[in-house]
Structure 1
């Protein structure tokens, strides 16, 4: 007797809206990169519980120049959480851009960081730097409610995140244009070439002939990282989540060159 085939049911998954994260990732003050990994996990848990997908604003599905990627995500993400703990300069700059776009933004910081004058008028959600478990539970609950409330309020007519405090100002806008795939690739290669050119003026590089030595060391560090942690290059290509430990690993292996972090990330992304 023939068995009747049952129609296969495919479950369509609705893509969650993106909640961008802006935060330190490298050691600063008494906070190690491991500390920031834990903070990122806490923020990601809260974001997921609020119904959003957490994404570092420097992440993207494609391999591109990190500065362009950051600006695009700061503009496009439905909501962004900025951790201004330790007042990391990159974080403060990216927070400024997001506020200029006047889009939903939440500021968090640890209990050992002081308020900055320009952003003190915006509510900050405080968490303990020592990441005390019970206080972090309360922090996550507060953050979940704040995410939901901030997005809902942003949909109301006349709502503004920041600019309303300074009079009748207009938020910044970004114009997008379509280009061919070949033009996009050439633009990325051009940007990477500029980063390499910037290395020539780095006093720690010295002779421009040392650049191939540095590139070779970066390449070797990537290979060592993959071997040590059992991660393939393919995995690094397909997901951005594995890259932040990689960035820190390569940075620690190339400290003597004193390469600016954003340039180092661009070179690593280009190599992958």
Structure 2
């Protein structure tokens, strides 16, 4: 990396003690496995609890989470904060190495996603092996950034048209970031993560599978409208059709999650339609 380039490796993991684990368990995982592995690479380990630069703590955490060239995420618990931070990384299609304790059920039942497992007992030789494996995974994942075959990118695995985009962050527009990103794009990434967890549950219904396909179809069409040069009347017809299709699917959804998913999509179509016409 060149001088001055971001060398942070953002670590996404439980900070406090979790039910079902001994006191200080994840502190040991960080100190004995994760941080030593990162230290052997060109990166520097950083966690959310170490971000204390300004009064805008949450926004600074968000910026460091997104800007970090690589991240490591421990999925050993279904910690909501961990899933939220992972969702942000995935929404912006930023490289992340997934790890979890051996015996932990997979949260996402997406075959290509790879998890690096470590032993709960953390015996000396197991710790050394885990450090080496994690070091190699970090280096390999960073090297594969931008590769269409990147197996830990949900954006690429789901063939989504593009990742989320964050505006430049400086002292004059932090409030804009808080409003635009936290309200709008966070709804979209929350929906995406809910879809991943939902599809990972056993016994997913055919109705839900069809809903996911329809969702992707409408999103792809929505992206095409914004990229094509249409006259106002043609664009209005396209947006109206998408809203009609989305409303019809919402009325026939079999589950609450699917209904919320398409409600988010309807809001997104409406926002994009308003933005499209305001610039014409």
- TM-score normalised per structure 2: 0.55
After superposition, the C-alpha distances for 1:81-140 in whole angstroms (9 at most, x for unaligned) are 000112211101111111111111101000131101356641000001122221121111
For residue 169 of structure 1, the aligned residue among 152, 157, 161 is: 161
Residue 21 (1) aligns with residue 8 (2): no
Call closer, same or farther: CA 1:31–1:66 in 2, change over 3 Å.
farther
Partner of 1:131: 122
For residue 68 of structure 1, the aligned residue among 59, 73, 85 is: 59
Call closer, same or farther: CA 1:32–1:119 in 2, change over 3 Å.
farther
Shift, 1:37, TM fit? 1.2
Runs of at least 4 residues off by over 6 Å: 13-16
User: Residue 83 of structure 2: SS of its match in structure 1?
Assistant: helix
Shift, 1:158, TM fit? 7.6
Query: Unpaired runs of 5+ in structure 2?
Result: 179-280
**2 CA distance for matches of 1:177 and 1:14?**
18
- Whether the 8 Å CA contact 2:14–2:26 is kept in 1: the answer is yes
Aligned length: 173
**2 CA distance for matches of 1:67 and 1:151?**
26
The worse-fitting range, judged by mean Cα deviation, of 28-37 and 98-107 is 28-37
**1 CA distance for matches of 2:171 and 2:119?**
46
Q: Structure with the greater relative contact order (CA < 8 A, sep ≥ 6): 1 or 2?
A: 1
User: Residue 86 of structure 1: SS of its match in structure 2?
Assistant: coil
**2 CA distance for matches of 1:43 and 1:170?**
30
Q: Please show how residues 107-256 of structure 1 align to structure 2 within 5 Å.
A: 107-117=98-108, 121-156=112-147, 161-180=153-172
Partner of 1:99: 90
**2 CA distance for matches of 1:100 and 1:121?**
18
After superposition, the C-alpha distances for 1:203-227 in whole angstroms (9 at most, x for unaligned) are xxxxxxxxxxxxxxxxxxxxxxxxx
- TM-score normalised per structure 1: 0.56
**2 CA distance for matches of 1:119 and 1:133?**
32
Partner of 1:36: 26
Query: Unpaired runs of 5+ in structure 1?
Result: 1-12, 189-272
- Whether the 8 Å CA contact 2:7–2:44 is kept in 1: the answer is yes
After superposition, the C-alpha distances for 1:235-254 in whole angstroms (9 at most, x for unaligned) are xxxxxxxxxxxxxxxxxxxx
Call closer, same or farther: CA 1:127–1:158 in 2, change over 3 Å.
closer
RMSD: 2.8
**2 CA distance for matches of 1:97 and 1:177?**
16
- Whether the 8 Å CA contact 1:26–1:33 is kept in 2: the answer is no
**1 CA distance for matches of 2:17 and 2:149?**
40
**2 CA distance for matches of 1:155 and 1:170?**
12
**1 CA distance for matches of 2:162 and 2:64?**
20
**1 CA distance for matches of 2:170 and 2:5?**
24
Call closer, same or farther: CA 1:177–1:145 in 2, change over 3 Å.
closer
